Structure 1
Amino acid sequence: MVKVQLFLGVLSFAFAVFCLIDAIGTTQPRNLPKWAWIVMILLFPLLGSIAWFLAGRPRPTPPPSAFPEYDRPGRMSPGDPSKDEAFLRDVRARAEEQRARYQAEQRRKQQEGEEGSAPA
């Protein structure tokens, strides 16, 4: 029984120290000023720590996106549908041109391979 009480006491102390350090290190606590949270944790270690953990810690902010243009609302809809159609036409034309160049290159390599292996 003594071991359980000792364990709970150490756990409570560690939790209070964690919350105190977290409260001191934060810049924008929720619901109360920073000094009030620190005083509450110091005066009521267990209750103040639980209150800090549930109601005082700032909400975690998502990490900034490396590509903020993907976060822009409405980015999936074209601003001007006629420009979007023209863009897609150009993309298809470039893809067809690249495909034709690739096929011509493959035919050229195949012909060179046949000429190299043909008896002279």
Structure 2
Amino acid sequence: MILEAAILNVRPGERDGFELAMAEARPLIAASPGFRGMEVRPCLEDGGRYLLLVWWERLEDHTEGFRGSDRYAEWKRRLHHFYDPFPLVEHFAAPFAAMPDPLEKPPRPVTRGDGGRNA
């Protein structure tokens, strides 16, 4: 699985329109073969900046499949006019190191009937 990432800088005063357009455009990308999920996160420091993360099964599912489709033409029509400057889109491999989810409870230690004294 690969991860597509882009910083989206939205033109001043167009945040609400962008968020609505992104919500409406999501089904276009979600219908693509190889699409596995998507997140759009607003930046805490800059109200006009967003982080776009899209998970794809293979790089080609994005670069050839989605970008070569009629759905991408509609995606562009709905969203690209919001960006200034136009975003750099990059693709990343599976992580070579990852931390556990900080919200996940740590596993409980397994003990034997003797309370683990003879482990």
Q: What TM-score, normalized to structure 1?
A: 0.20
Higher relative contact order (CA 8 A, sep 6+): 2
Superposition TM-score, scaled by structure 2 size:
0.20
Name the one with the larger strand percent.
2
Structure whose CA Rg is larger: 1
